[in-house]
Amino acid sequence: MTIVVFILLAGLWAAFVLPSFFDHRSNAPKSTTRAFAKTRKKLAQVSAAQPDGDAYVRRHAQRRRQHVLVGLAISSVATLFFATWTGSVPWLWVNIAVNVSIAAYVTLLLTMKQQRMMPRAQVVALNTQTPHARQRRRVNAPEPYIEESKTVRVIAG
């Protein structure tokens, strides 16, 4: 009988004390930081997977550009190999054309990147009314009439 009571007390002690011990370890700063990092990583993956999001579009455009550039580089190496292996001048001209297209593509990408980085100028609405329309408005304007300012905005560009 004593052994049964001892086993029951040990079981109750294990049922109440051990969960709090393991729970205390799971709330340690290292584990909560890791859990936060995992959750943040999952949320970043979900937000990047939205097909109408800017990050998704940018990532796929970047991947397309990389595929085009890798394809051009492989074709350049292949045409140079065929030109030297066969001693063929037409293959050499094809290699030169591929190299020129690589240079043009890289120039196009750099130009687009430079245009994206340039600050945008603010658009100012200009007064597009004709002098005749201004004259009619003056006639119909209530007294006292306040004349519009005669400033000119110069837009650089």
Confidence tier at 154 by pLDDT (50, 70, 90): low
**Of 10-24, 64-78, 83-97, 140-154, the least confident:** 140-154
- Collapse the DSSP code of 87 into the 3-class scheme (helix H, G, I; strand E, B; otherwise coil) and give the result: coil
d(CA 127, CA 137): 14
d(CA 38, CA 25): 18
Name the residue type at position 138: R
pLDDT tens for residues 43-102?
877 766 667 777 778 888 889 999 999 999 999 999 999 999 998 899 999 999 999 999
pLDDT tens for residues 103-134?
999 999 999 888 888 877 666 666 666 555 55
The residue assigned the tokens 């009988």 is 1
